[in-house]
Amino acid sequence: MIHHRIKTAGYILLIAMGYYSLSACNSHKAEVQATVEEMQSSAITIPYERMECWASDSILEDRPWNKAKLKLVHYVDSATCSTCYLQKIAIYGLLFSMETQSNNDFYNVFIINPNIIAKKKLISDFSGKLIPQTIFVDSANVFMEVNPNIPSESMFHTFLLDENNKVILVGNPMLNKQIEDMMLSIVEEKLGRSLIQQSRLANNE
């Protein structure tokens, strides 16, 4: 635990720099650090059975999220354009290449809390295969209900979980190259193999 807590301090600074540009206020950094430490204070609960799972029959039968050693959680709240985010993730591509290269030992968990209008758009884009084809729709917002240690600010809504569902990295690799590099390094360390070259090559094909 000490090892990862030391690393986390580095991640915190990157999050503050990446999302708050030129802010160098020590008090703000301390607030961000305190928030991430609160997120780490207990394991994250993912209430799969209380959310709608949109996926193929084979995925629903296999349930790869239960077998994954590392999970990158993407929580998209009702204030965010969920289809916009999911389309960008699909174009970004790297995270899905990592799933393939790791045989789903690394897995993306998309949890969407849409309003009524957004859900209609979500249904349309999902049917048209414009967004990832495995998502959890959390209309009742149970994910945040059972995880009071997750803050409301969207900058904290993408995070990497270890095999015990403990937070080991906070930040969005799609938006921050340094977070991406850290994520790849952690995945290599945890899984005992590098996915960097394979995933980036696959993503560029």
Q: Give residue-wise pLDDT tens across range 151-188.
A: 999 999 999 999 999 999 999 999 999 999 999 999 99
pLDDT average, residue stretch 178-203: 80
Q: Which domain holds residue 127?
A: 2-204
Please tell me the pTM assigned to this model. 0.85
Range of weakest confidence among 22-26, 109-113, 179-183: 22-26
Name the nearest CA neighbour of 110 among 89, 92, 80, 79: 89
Check which CATH number belongs to the domain holding 62 and give it.
3.40.30.10
Number of folded domains in the chain?
A: 1
